[in-house]
């Protein structure tokens, strides 16, 4: 506190004036104007950023890595994943999901499903522009929309995808059954 | 008005007298309203952009180039909104309150000389009219708060009334020094009395103190930050205009803003030399240059208002009233004495020094007396 | 209109209701006013109750970690740490050194986040029209970008795991953190120049909302609020959890216990946090970032109970857990600092004016996610 009363007020005015003038000379968003004028400019998201999960396939959507082991369904904290294993005509499990639904209005984006998956099948996407017009069915994402290729995975998270490719054991998936099985 | 009447007679001598008279009355009104409504719209845009830049962000920039159509968009939006009136509200009073806020603000513009020879009505009690009419909006404040049948509004209205009434007194006393120097209440005479180099009243010690007091009181009259208690958003939601929506809300905002513009105009007239400036006396285009000078000085007042709004927090109600009665009022009285000393002293230098010293001593003494124990220096100890 | 006036006046009962621009969330205060003075105040909470403790009894130990992010949603890292600490105590897990340093870095950055936001919002309650808030948010954005680079999300980080952290900090992230810490003192200097000596702020906050030292101790107030009242209690110094005993930092303690002291204590704590961060970023060793015996799935905690607490930016955040030896908690209880600090609100506000109520609430620094769980 200084003895000259009013000095604090004037100091405040000086700081705001500096910010006002400085905002016109702030190139490259270093100090002052830090807003991105969306949708013309988009911020580059860091590689690790996570939003909603997606399923990885190698090559064709038929060769998805998921074996419908249901570990992610069990570990998901808000229980937003619903998996049904695909079985052939005799009822033998085919190690692939027939139904894989994620309710993204419930999903917490915690990433635990991606952490616990033993097959590196489910990973976290960084796409946040997911708004829909409906509140219920539109936000329930089914298997076809969840499937994205390994090339896409490399594109959004190259370091992580490279590390995953170096450590996992590639397997060939059995083909999906052509005859409809008994429900 | 007279000038326009003469002009009409000179250019259209065949027009009937009554029509010429009516035109001579209506035309200045239309010009003043038109100009100042445009100024109001532009000023809202300027304020939002400037506040944005102070806060490290751009202001509105989507509607129109650089966001220039934002005021139009806001006006249209408020026009098309549903007008909600609470069931228990007093319908007539609720309806009249916004009107009564806007009308005095515009009325005072009748005596503000915008350019040389351009005052709508040259009243010989101009300043008295201005100060008296601008106070009429306090009625509207209380009407709004009472008619809304809402506790928050009532709180806001009571605070507002106390604030406006308290800040009238130092404002009028600060205006008295100007009247003493100019010797008349007419606004045109006051401006003409500030001719000459360093003739503006703000350049003199008593004028500078008077300007500061008047500006602070003007900010408090129109309830701008740091004195915007009646509508203190973070405490009592929106104060006296909580229950207003749609165009009535727009009228409140417009009333407050135009009142701020008007008080700015009065300040410029009384302290900053009105429309005077180099080049304002030229024969043909002098009036245009003087209008530019007026608006340039008006811009200074606007800058002060916006800058203060972006920087300082709000004072509390008892501190606000204490500031008015215990600091500004005695200071304005001492200011009057200082002006008298300046006027009646034998030589100019003695007058300057004497009045400046008197004012400095008064300011320091009053501030010391008022500060009390609140502004203490604090020290903190550290444990490890 | 004084409380002891000659004229018989009526009191006015006002509900500073859940929809209010500055009650920091959905929180209601039923205030009885005599003119402008507060005669009685009743805080009403529970508008944000989300059954956090009941949900925790139904899901696995690790699945609770994302829910703790959402307790005090400004400071997710410290919430995670408190929970991880409680479970590690019960399970006997030892955390490697690099993970401890990472945890300290994240916690101190969270402290910077929280205090800058808290002060900004306190000043905006005073009426400074968002200018201090936006300056604080500008710096906070850098820290949030850092959190996104490391853990994947800006606010709901879900970063700590039992026995360490989820991913390691690489060199690029460390450089980012060093850059943030290097800029912070300049920001604090500018902020203090803007606000600390401002006469209006001093007039609004000094002698307002005084909390006496004895009352603070009796009411279990912790955190910056207690330290502003003169209680020398900082869990980082008392419990010495993590590796805090290796850092050289001081704890600021105030005298008067009013709103201005709480504001200044937070600023001084930010400066101390910068000191800790500089030391931690300099000394961080190489090594594993999670204990080798830590498990994610089927993680069973031995039967018993345990209480783990840390110095969260708002006060003492504690988790009381009871386990029956299974994969889910039997009882899970959170000791939220905001909730306990809020119980003393009436005593601080009596005799003050309505406008002060909001400022005092702002200086308590509550987050409704924590108060209501």
Please count the CA atoms within 13 angstroms of the CA of C76 that sit on its side-chain side: 23
Q: Do B307 and A13 touch (CB under 8 A)?
A: yes
Neighbouring chains to B with at least 3 Cβ pairs closer than 8 Å: A, C
Q: pLDDT tens digit string along B96-155?
A: 888 888 888 888 888 888 887 777 777 888 888 988 988 888 888 888 888 877 776 777
**Whether residues B265 and B317 fall in one domain:** yes
Residue pair B226/B324 in contact by the 8 Å Cβ criterion: no
C-alpha–C-alpha distance, residues B254 and C123, integer Å = 27
Q: Is C6 contained in some domain?
A: no
Dist CA C29 CA C43 (whole Å): 4
Name the minimum distance, in Å, from the CA of C123 to any CA of chain A: 13
What pLDDT, on a 0 to 100 scale, did the predictor assign at position A179? 42
SS3 C220: coil
Could you tell me which chains touch chain A, where touching means 3 or more CB pairs under 8 A? Answer: B, C
Asked if residue B58 is part of any domain, the answer here is: yes
pLDDT at position B225 over 70: no
Q: With respect to residue B214, please indicate whether it lies within any of the assigned structural domains.
A: yes
The reply to whether B180 and B256 lie within a common domain is: yes
Residue whose pair of structure tokens reads 């450089």 in the numeric block = C175
Write down the pLDDT at residue B221.
85
How does residue C1 score in pLDDT terms, banded at 50, 70 and 90?
very low
> CA B102 from chain center: how many Å?
13
The proportion of chain C whose per-residue pLDDT surpasses 90, expressed as a percent, equals: 31
B35 and B138 within one domain: no
Distances (CA, A) of C252 to A24, C94, C183, C247, C340: 38, 31, 22, 16, 21
Residue C12: is its pLDDT beyond 80?
A: no
Residue C263 lies in a domain: yes
Structural domain count, chain C: 1
Is the model's pLDDT at B188 over the cut of 80?
A: yes
Given this model, what pLDDT does residue C103 score?
93
The CA distance from C188 to C288, in Å, is: 35
Indicate if the pLDDT at residue A181 is higher than 70. Answer: no
Q: Residues B99, B148: one domain?
A: yes
CATH code of the domain covering residue C222: 1.10.645.10
Confirm whether C130 is domain-assigned. yes
Domain span at residue B58? Answer: 1-80
Write out the two tokens for C310.
Answer: 């840390």
What subunits touch chain C, counting only 3 or more CB pairs under 8 A? A, B
Same domain membership, residue B113 and residue B72: no
Cα(B209)–Cα(B218) distance, rounded to whole angstroms? 14
Angle between helix C97-126 and helix C76-91 axes, rounded to 10 deg: 140
Cα(C43)–Cα(C23) distance, integer angstroms: 11
Which of B36, B57, B80 is the C-terminal boundary of a domain? B80
Give B-chain residues touching A12 at CB under 8 angstroms: 311-312
In a domain, C3, yes or no: no
In chain C, which residue's Cα lies nearest the Cα of B53?
C131
Last residue of a domain, one of B51, B80, B109: B80
pLDDT in tens, B285-316: 777 888 888 889 999 898 988 888 888 888 87
- Chain B residues close to A38, C-beta within 8 Å: none
Do C269 and C261 contact (CB within 8 A), yes or no?
no
Residue B372 has pLDDT above 70, yes or no: no
Residue A1 neighbours by CB under 8 Å, 6+ apart: A8, B375, B376, B377, B378, C197, C202
The pLDDT > 90 percentage for chain B reads 3
Question: What count of Cα atoms within 13 Å lies in the side-chain half-sphere of residue B168?
Answer: 15
CATH class of the domain comprising A53-167: alpha beta
What are the angstrom distances between the C-alpha of C6 and each of B358, C2, C9, C39? 41, 9, 9, 17
Q: Which of B163, B316, B377 to mutate to test the interface with C (most CBs of C within 10 A)?
A: B316
Task: Write out the DSSP string of B132-192.
Answer: HHHHTHHHHHHHHHHHTT-HHHHHHHHHHHHHHHHHHHHHHHHHHHHHHHH--S-HHHHHH
Between chains, do A110 and C296 touch, taking CB under 8 Å as contact? no
Please give the residue of chain B at the shortest CA–CA distance from C360: B235
User: Which of the residues C131, C140, C147, C158 would you substitute to probe the A interface, choosing the one with the greatest number of A C-beta atoms within 10 Å?
Assistant: C158
Question: Shortest CA distance to C201 belongs to which of C150, C262, C283?
Answer: C262
User: Alpha-carbon distance C230 to B109, whole Å?
Assistant: 57
Task: State the residue range of the domain holding C341.
Answer: 12-372
- Of C209 and B286, the structure prediction assigns the larger pLDDT to C209
pLDDT in tens, C55-74: 999 988 989 999 998 988 88
Residue B14 shares a structural domain with residue B36: yes
Query: Which has the minimum average pLDDT: A15-19, B29-33, B278-282, C234-238?
Result: B278-282
Query: Minimal Cα distance from A75: which residue of C?
Result: C63
pLDDT of B202 higher than 60: yes
DSSP B375: S
Min Cα–Cα distance to chain C from A183, Å: 30
Residues B113, B197 within the same domain: yes
- More confident of the two residues B317 and C249: C249
Minimal-distance CA residue of chain C relative to B322: C203
Share of chain B above pLDDT 70, in %: 92
Q: Are C199 and A3 in contact (CB under 8 A)?
A: no
CB spacing of A109 vs C156 below 8 angstroms? yes
Distance, in Å, from the CA atom of B218 to the CA atom of B212, rounded to the nearest integer, reads 10
Pairing of strands A81-87, A53-57: unpaired
Q: For a pLDDT cut of 70, what percent of chain C falls above it?
A: 97
B171 and B45 within one domain: no
For the record, the structure tokens of B353 come out as 């020094």
Selected for mutation to probe chain C from B159, B233, B235 (highest C CB count within 10 Å) is B235
Give residue limits of the domains in chain A.
Answer: 7-43, 53-167
Are B317 and C134 a contacting pair at CB < 8 A?
no
3-state DSSP of C33-93 = EECCEEEEEEEECCCCCCCHHHHHCCCCCHHHHHHHHCCCCCCHHHHHHHHHHHHHHHHCC
Residue C267 contacts residue C192 (beta carbons within 8 Å): yes
Beta carbons of A9 and C200 less than 8 Å apart: yes
Partner residue opposite A32 with nearest CB, options B56, B367, B371: B56
Q: Is residue B115 part of a domain?
A: yes
* Within-domain flag for B33: yes
In the block, tokens 């500061």 appear at B212
Residue C11: pLDDT over 60: yes
Name the domain count of chain B: 2
- Residue B379 in any domain: the answer is no
For C:54-93, CB contacts with A below 8 A are 59-60, 62-67
- The distance of B158 to chain C (nearest Cα, Å) reads 10
H/E element, A53: strand A53-57
Joined together, the tokens standing for residue B226 give 């740091």
Q: Please identify, among B57, B80, B103, the residue that sits at the C-terminal boundary of a domain.
A: B80
Which ipTM did the prediction report?
Answer: 0.85
A70: contact with C, CB 8 A cutoff: no
- Residue B253 placed within a domain: yes
Q: Which residues from C are below 8 Å from B234, CB to CB?
A: 21-22, 124-125, 127, 358
The more confidently predicted of residues C111 and A6 is C111
DSSP string, C309-363: EEEETTEEEEEEEEE-SSSS-SEEEEE-HHHHHHTTHHHHHTTSBHHHHHHHHHH
Q: Which helix (H) or strand (E) holds A93?
A: strand A93-103
* Predicted structure pTM score: 0.87
Task: Name which of B235, B311, B375 is nearest C202 (Cβ-Cβ).
Answer: B375
C240's tokens: 């010495």
């Amino acid at each position: 506190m200084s003895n000259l009363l009013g000095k604090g007020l004037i100091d405040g005015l000086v700081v705001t004036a500096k910010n006002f003038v400085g905002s016109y000379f702030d190139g490259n968003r270093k100090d002052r104007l830090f807003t991105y004028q969306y949708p013309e400019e988009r911020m580059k998201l860091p590689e690790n950023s996570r939003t909603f999960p997606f399923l990885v396939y190698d090559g064709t959507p038929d060769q998805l890595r998921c074996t419908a082991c249901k570990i992610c369904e069990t570990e998901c904290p808000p229980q937003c994943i619903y998996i049904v294993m695909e079985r052939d005509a005799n009822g033998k499990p085919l190690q692939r999901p027939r139904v894989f639904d994620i309710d993204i209005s419930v999903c917490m984006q915690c990433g635990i499903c991606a952490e616990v998956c033993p097959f590196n099948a489910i990973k976290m996407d960084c796409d946040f522009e997911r708004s829909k017009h409906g509140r219920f069915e539109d936000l329930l994402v089914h298997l076809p929309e969840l499937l994205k290729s390994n090339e896409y995975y490399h594109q959004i998270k190259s370091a992580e995808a490279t590390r995953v490719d170096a450590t996992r054991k590639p397997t060939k998936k059995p083909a999906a059954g052509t005859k409809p099985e008994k429900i | 008005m007279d000038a326009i009447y003469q002009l009409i007679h000179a250019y259209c001598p065949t027009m009937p007298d009554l029509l010429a008279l009516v035109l001579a009355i209506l035309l200045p009104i239309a010009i003043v309203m038109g100009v100042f409504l445009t100024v109001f719209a532009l000023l809202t845009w300027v304020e939002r952009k400037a506040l944005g830049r102070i806060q490290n962000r751009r202001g509105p920039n989507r509607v129109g180039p650089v966001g220039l159509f934002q005021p139009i968009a806001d006006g249209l939006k408020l026009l098309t909104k549903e007008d909600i009136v609470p069931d228990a509200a007093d319908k007539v009073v609720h309806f009249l309150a916004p009107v009564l806020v806007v009308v005095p603000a515009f009325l005072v513009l009748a005596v503000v000389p915008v350019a040389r020879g351009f005052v709508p009505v040259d009243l010989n009690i101009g300043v008295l009219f201005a100060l008296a009419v601008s106070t009429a909006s306090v009625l509207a404040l209380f009407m709004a708060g009472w008619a809304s049948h809402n506790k928050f509004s009532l709180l806001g209205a009571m605070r507002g009334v106390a604030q406006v009434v308290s800040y009238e007194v130092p404002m009028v006393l600060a205006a008295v020094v100007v009247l003493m120097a100019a010797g008349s209440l007419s606004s045109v005479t006051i401006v003409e009395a500030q001719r000459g180099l360093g003739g503006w009243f703000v350049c003199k010690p008593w004028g500078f103190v008077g300007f500061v007091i008047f500006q602070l009181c003007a900010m408090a009259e129109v309830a701008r930050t740091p004195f915007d208690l009646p509508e203190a958003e973070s405490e009592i939601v929106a104060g006296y205009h909580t229950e207003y929506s749609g165009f009535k809300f727009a009228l409140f905002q417009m009333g407050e803003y135009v009142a701020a513009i008007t008080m700015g105009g009065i300040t410029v007239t009384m302290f900053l030399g009105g429309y005077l400036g180099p080049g304002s006396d030229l024969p043909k285009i002098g009036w245009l240059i003087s209008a530019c000078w007026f608006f340039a000085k008006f811009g200074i007042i606007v800058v002060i208002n916006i800058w203060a709004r972006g920087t300082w927090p709000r004072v509390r109600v008892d501190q606000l009233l204490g500031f008015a009665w215990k600091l500004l009022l005695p200071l304005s009285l001492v200011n009057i004495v200082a002006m008298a000393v300046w006027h009646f002293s034998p030589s100019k230098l003695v007058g300057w020094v004497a009045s400046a010293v008197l004012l400095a001593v008064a300011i320091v003494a009053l501030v010391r007396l008022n500060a009390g124990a609140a502004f203490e220096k604090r020290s903190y100890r550290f444990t490890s | 209109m004084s409380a002891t006036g000659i004229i018989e006046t009526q009191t006015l009962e006002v509900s500073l209701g859940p929809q209010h621009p500055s009650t920091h969330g959905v929180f209601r205060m039923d205030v009885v006013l005599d003119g402008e003075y507060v005669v009685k105040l009743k805080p009403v909470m529970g508008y944000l109750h989300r059954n956090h403790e009941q949900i925790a009894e139904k899901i696995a130990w690790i699945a609770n970690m994302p829910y703790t992010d959402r307790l005090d949603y400004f400071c997710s890292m410290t919430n995670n740490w408190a929970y991880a600490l409680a479970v590690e105590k019960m399970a006997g897990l030892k955390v490697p050194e690099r993970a401890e340093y990472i945890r300290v870095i994240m916690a101190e950055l969270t402290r910077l986040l929280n205090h800058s936001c808290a002060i900004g919002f306190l000043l905006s309650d005073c009426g400074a029209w968002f200018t201090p808030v936006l300056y604080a948010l500008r710096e906070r954005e850098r820290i949030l970008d850092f959190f996104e680079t490391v853990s994947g999300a800006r606010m709901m980080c879900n970063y700590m795991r039992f026995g360490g952290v989820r991913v390691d900090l690489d060199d690029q992230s460390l450089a980012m953190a060093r850059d943030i810490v290097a800029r912070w003192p300049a920001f604090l200097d500018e902020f203090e120049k803007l606000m600390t000596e401002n006469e209006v702020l001093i007039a609004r906050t000094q002698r307002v909302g005084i909390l006496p030292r004895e009352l603070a101790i009796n009411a279990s107030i912790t955190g910056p609020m207690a330290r502003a009242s003169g209680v020398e209690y900082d869990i980082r110094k008392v419990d010495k959890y993590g590796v805090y005993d290796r850092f050289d930092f001081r704890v600021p303690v105030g005298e008067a216990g009013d709103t201005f002291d709480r504001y200044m204590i937070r600023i001084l704590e930010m400066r101390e946090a910068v000191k800790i961060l500089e030391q931690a970023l300099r000394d961080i060793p190489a090594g594993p970032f999670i204990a080798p015996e830590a498990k994610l799935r089927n993680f069973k905690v031995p039967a018993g109970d345990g209480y783990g607490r840390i110095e969260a930016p708002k006060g003492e955040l504690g988790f009381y857990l009871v386990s029956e030896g299974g994969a889910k908690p039997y009882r899970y209880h959170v000791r939220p600092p905001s909730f306990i600090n809020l119980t003393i609100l009436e005593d601080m506000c009596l005799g003050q004016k309505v406008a002060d109520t909001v400022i005092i609430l702002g200086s308590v620094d509550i987050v409704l996610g924590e108060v209501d769980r």
